[in-house]
A = this chain, B = another copy of it.
Amino acid sequence: MASSGVTGSPCGACKFLRRKCAAECVFAPYFCAEDGASQFAAIHKVFGASNAAKLLQQVAPGDRSEAAATVTYEAQARMRDPVYGCVAHIFALQQQVVALQAQVAQARTHLVAAGHGHPLLYQQQAAWQVAETSTTQSSSGCYSAHRSDDGSSMHAPAEMYCFGEQEEGSY
Contact with A74, one of B39, B74, B171 (Cβ below 8 angstroms): B74
Q: Is the CB of A72 within 8 A of B170?
A: yes
Report the separation of the CA atoms of residues A134 and B150 in the bound assembly, to the nearest whole angstrom.
Answer: 38
Q: Is the CB of A46 within 8 A of B51?
A: yes
Report the separation of the CA atoms of residues A35 and B153 in the bound assembly, to the nearest whole angstrom.
Answer: 9
Give chain A's interface residues, CB within 8 Å of chain B. Answer: 1-2, 12, 29-32, 34-36, 39, 45-48, 50-51, 55, 58-59, 63, 65-74, 76-78, 80-90, 92-97, 99-101, 103-104, 106-108, 110-111, 113-115, 118, 120-121, 123-124, 127-128, 131, 134-135, 138-139, 145, 150, 152-157, 161, 163-164, 166-167, 170-171
